[in-house]
């Protein structure tokens, strides 16, 4: 990320225009020096947009200082006397970032190792099998609940698969498991599968195995090492809750459109930059959490989510919302846009805002009356200008 100069989008087009004066500058941020190649006629706001994906700092959270003065968004670099070789200091406002926070000095690889320090050291021959006594196996078969969380497992015991169709819940959360074998398909009556807080990587599960879990209603894959999700996820036609938060996902599969029963989707704290338009087919969704990602916009198909009640979008680079969100999502009463580019002034201009505002204030009042919340302070849902 630090080698060479950074350009992007319309700024690259400007550099190709005849007569364009190009300046190479360095932006100092924390312990980093970020090289930028940009047209001298670009505005300070353009420069901030370039710095956003490189630092994770939202443009309105950036303060650029040159020769002791704060640069103004509307002015050009030329009029600000920024020339070739100039050095600019970036200061960031606390909290106004996208994704998992400012990128200060560590590389992406280092960030992963900080999150999961032991994962790089594990190899296949280090895996151990947990022994399961007969009484425990019998209890699993009688109750239908296989509880193996916090057992320091590196592989799922073979005895688990002997439960076959009697198993309703498989909880192997908080272990060190990297993959799930194809024999998972033997648990054809499984309703809850809890795989959170492991070391699960891409290709963790045979697609054919997923196709057999027609009864699955809850799937938790949070706090793992995933960068993609299998397309076979769309075969889980009974799924109602999906938690894939705290991974390294860059997108959601188009096949999510087949999850017509899905009610809760949690994909917070990932690296998602775009959302597939097919999410509009998940018509049963009531709660969506996409906070702490790299989103700059949402597809217009969000307006088709007529059952949506809560939408969490904080700490993204969002600059706008789908035009029909307030007008079509008539049950929406919770919206979190803190630490995005969308402020209260922008929200109030959207069609359907007044009706949405009435709904959320009524909900807050009811929560006070039934003592669901302790404070009378009302959260506006977005930052002030």
Would you state the pLDDT for residue 383? 84
Q: Provide the pLDDT confidence category of residue 126 given band limits of 50, 70 and 90.
A: very low
Q: Provide the pLDDT confidence category of residue 372 given band limits of 50, 70 and 90.
A: low
- How far, in Å, are 29, 72, 312, 340 from residue 63 at the CA level? 11, 9, 27, 16
Alpha helix positions (H), the chain:
10-15, 44-55, 108-115, 134-143, 207-211, 325-328, 344-347, 353-369
Q: Give, as one character, the DSSP assignment of residue 92.
A: E
Query: Which residues in 228-265 are b (16+ Cβ under 10 Å) and which e?
Result: ebbebbbbbeebbbbbbbbbbbebbbebbbbbebbbbb
pLDDT tens-digit profile of 86-104? 999 999 988 778 877 787 7
Would you state the pLDDT for residue 267? 97
pLDDT tens-digit profile of 321-349? 999 999 999 999 999 999 999 999 999 99
Q: Provide the pLDDT confidence category of residue 368 given band limits of 50, 70 and 90.
A: confident
Instruction: Sort strands 264-266 and 241-243 into parallel, antiparallel or unpaired.
Output: parallel
Would you state the pLDDT for residue 218? 98
Select from 311, 241, 240, 223 the least CA-distant residue to 275.
Answer: 311
Would you state the pLDDT for residue 134? 73
Would you state the pLDDT for residue 89? 93
Select from 4, 2, 27 the least CA-distant residue to 105.
Answer: 2
Q: Is the pLDDT of residue 294 over 60?
A: yes
As given in the structure block, the two tokens for residue 353 are 């805002």
Q: Provide the pLDDT confidence category of residue 233 given band limits of 50, 70 and 90.
A: very high
Q: Is the pLDDT of residue 5 over 80?
A: no
Query: Which residues in 179-196 are b (16+ Cβ under 10 Å) and which e?
Result: bbbeebbbbebbbbbbbb
Average pLDDT, the chain: 86
pLDDT tens-digit profile of 270-280? 999 999 999 99
User: Which pTM value belongs to this model?
Assistant: 0.78
- Count of alpha carbons within 13 Å of 264, Cβ hemisphere only? 10
Q: Is the pLDDT of residue 215 over 80?
A: yes
Would you state the pLDDT for residue 9? 52
Q: Provide the pLDDT confidence category of residue 108 given band limits of 50, 70 and 90.
A: very low
């Amino acid at each position: 990320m630090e080698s060479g100069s950074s350009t992007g989008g319309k700024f690259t087009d400007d550099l190709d225009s005849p007569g364009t004066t190009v300046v190479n500058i360095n932006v100092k941020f924390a312990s980093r020096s970020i090289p930028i190649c940009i047209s001298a006629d670009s505005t300070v706001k353009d420069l901030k947009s370039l710095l956003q994906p490189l630092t994770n700092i939202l443009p309105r959270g950036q303060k650029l200082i040159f020769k002791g003065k704060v640069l103004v968004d509307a002015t050009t670099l030329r009029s600000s006397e920024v020339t070739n070789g100039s050095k600019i200091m970036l200061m960031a406002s606390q909290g106004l970032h996208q994704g998992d926070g400012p990128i200060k000095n560590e590389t992406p690889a280092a960030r992963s190792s900080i999150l999961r320090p032991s994962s790089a050291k594990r190899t296949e021959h280090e895996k151990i099998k947990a022994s399961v006594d007969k009484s425990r196996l019998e209890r699993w078969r009688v109750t239908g609940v296989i509880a193996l969380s916090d057992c320091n497992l590196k592989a799922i015991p073979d005895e688990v698969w002997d439960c076959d169709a009697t198993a309703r819940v498989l909880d192997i959360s908080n272990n060190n498991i990297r993959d799930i074998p194809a024999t998972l398909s033997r648990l054809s009556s499984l309703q809850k599968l809890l795989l959170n807080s492991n070391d699960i990587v891409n290709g963790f599960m045979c697609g054919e195995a997923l196709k057999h879990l027609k009864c699955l209603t809850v799937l938790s894959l949070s706090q793992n090492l995933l960068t993609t999700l299998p397309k076979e996820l769309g075969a889980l036609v009974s799924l109602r809750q999906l938690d894939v938060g705290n991974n390294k996902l860059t997108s959601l599969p188009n096949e999510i459109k087949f999850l017509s029963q899905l009610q809760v989707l949690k994909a917070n704290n990932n690296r998602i930059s775009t959302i597939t338009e097919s999410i509009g087919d998940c018509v049963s969704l009531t709660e969506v959490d996409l906070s702490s990602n790299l989103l700059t916009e949402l597809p217009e198909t969000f307006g088709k989510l007529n059952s949506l009640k809560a939408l969490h979008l904080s700490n993204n680079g969002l600059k706008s919302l789908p035009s029909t969100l307030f007008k079509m999502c008539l049950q929406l009463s919770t919206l979190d846009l803190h630490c995005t580019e969308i402020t209260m002034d922008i929200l109030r201009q959207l069609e359907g805002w007044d009706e949405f505002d009435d709904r959320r204030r009524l909900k807050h009042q009811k929560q006070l009356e039934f003592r669901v919340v302790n404070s009378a302070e009302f959260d506006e849902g977005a930052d002030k200008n």
